[in-house]
Amino acid sequence: MARLFGTDGVRGRANGDITAELAVELSVGAAHVLGTLGAFGGTRPRAIVARDTRPSGHFLSAAVSAGLASAGIDVLDAEVLPTPGLAYLVQSTGADLGVMISASHNPAPDNGIKFFARGGTKLPDEVENAIEARLGEDWDRPQGTDVGTITRYEGAIEEYVAHLVSTLDRSLEGLTVVADCANGAASISGPEALRRAGATVHIIGDLSDGGLINDGVGSTHLGPLQAAVREHGADIGVAFDGDADRCLAVDADGEIIDGDQIMAILALDLKERGKLHDNTLVVTVMSNLGLKLAMKEHGIVLGQTGVGDRYVLEEMNLGGYSLGGEQSGHVIIAEHATTGDGELTALHLLQRMAETGRTAAELKTVMTRLPQALINVKDVDKAKATIDRGVADAIEAAEKELGETGRVLLRPSGTEPVVRVMVEAPTDEQASEIAERLAVIVQERVGL
């Protein structure tokens, strides 16, 4: 049986893979496992539950809340709130547990369940495995006044926005930004935080229509943002995904600034402030080779992890590092957040512009991206892809062809039914040719 938890919680088609029954069982299992690990205090434990704007979030958050309350946990329902907002509130209020109902950048029919432990941190694999192992088991159910209560969390968004703005050292007055909220959880807090910080804000993708979440807008669809930046003559555009734990940007000309470039900009900022611990930036294996070369030039070491911002965070915690993230736009600023936070990232990117007087286009020249091709190969056996001898031989041959001028990465997705083939090379043509060649081999060798 395949592991239920993926790279970032449990995710799938809502009311198909992710049912109300599963949501109840997972929340009960989480309550029991975290309780036995001693995460709960002496009083009755508290949990905060939040969701993005998907229609299915209503019944799934209700099911999670019901499961937690049935296990004797008092629930605060924060309703629609970004994932990093939930993480912050779990930390700031001393709650014992947080549950986010979201499928992040996935389309509206999908949904997911992410758990946060006390302190606002994601769960390690072993704790997720323990929760999964408890599904369906018999348990002693509290009764009477021992069951938990469910209460609306008044002021959740306000508390989160106030926190975001408090992390800045200066006003963003004079900067004009377009914010694409992906019709998702950032639709209220994102623009409000930017305005309160002093920026002039134009908004797209803020319909708060969960049926359109990530639909042609947000960090996975930057075309509308590029057009809006040019239309408004903005200094920069920022795009969040459905639950706002990631941020990508475009400069005044509409050119994309990806997560690697954002991390490079922020790493130099922290180094200049003397806040980049051990002069180290933590990234994943998906980060562009150009980032490593640029950071080396500036005396910054690159730590590397598997894909997933929680793995980045684990490495950051082990070394006490200040900054880390993913090319996709998950950026963790450890001084202010326990997880990737798109809105926080946008604010600090704009602050760097305000402090230096440099444009976004000028700032992103800190690194030169090597041409990169990424192909998602569908309808394949993800488990076999990493052990098949024919696939391994093809990758080895491609790596010899590239030498030190590029690299190859094959990775089964932890959140989608695909295998990702990524190639970096000196030219776009070579990267695309090798990636396409490898994708065909993967499909032929392990296709379903």
Token duo for residue 230? 């040019």
Q: How large is the angle between the packed helices 186-196 and 342-356, nearest 10 degrees? A: 20
Token duo for residue 255? 């050119």
Contact criterion met (CB below 8 Å) for 34 and 90: no
Give, in degrees to the nearest 5, the angle at Cα 359 between 357 and 364.
120
Instruction: DSSP letter for 380, please.
Output: B
CA dihedral 285, 288, 290, 293 (to 10 degrees): -10
Contact criterion met (CB below 8 Å) for 193 and 347: yes
CA dihedral 132, 19, 40, 322 (to 10 degrees): 80
Q: How large is the angle between the packed helices 342-356 and 83-93, nearest 10 degrees? A: 90
Catalytic one of 56, 102, 104, 187: 104
What's the rounded Cα separation, in Å, for the pair 312 and 321? 10
Matching residue, tokens 């020249």: 365
What's the rounded Cα separation, in Å, for the pair 440 and 334? 41
70, 85, 102, 179, 336 from 155: Cα distances, Å: 25, 12, 20, 23, 20
Task: Write out the E strands in 291-403.
Answer: 301-305, 323-325, 331-333, 372-378
432 tagged catalytic: no
91, 205, 224, 268, 274 from 234: Cα distances, Å: 35, 16, 14, 24, 31
Contact criterion met (CB below 8 Å) for 60 and 74: no
Strand partners, 407: 424
118, 120, 174, 358, 411 from 39: Cα distances, Å: 7, 12, 45, 46, 34
Active site residue ranges:
104
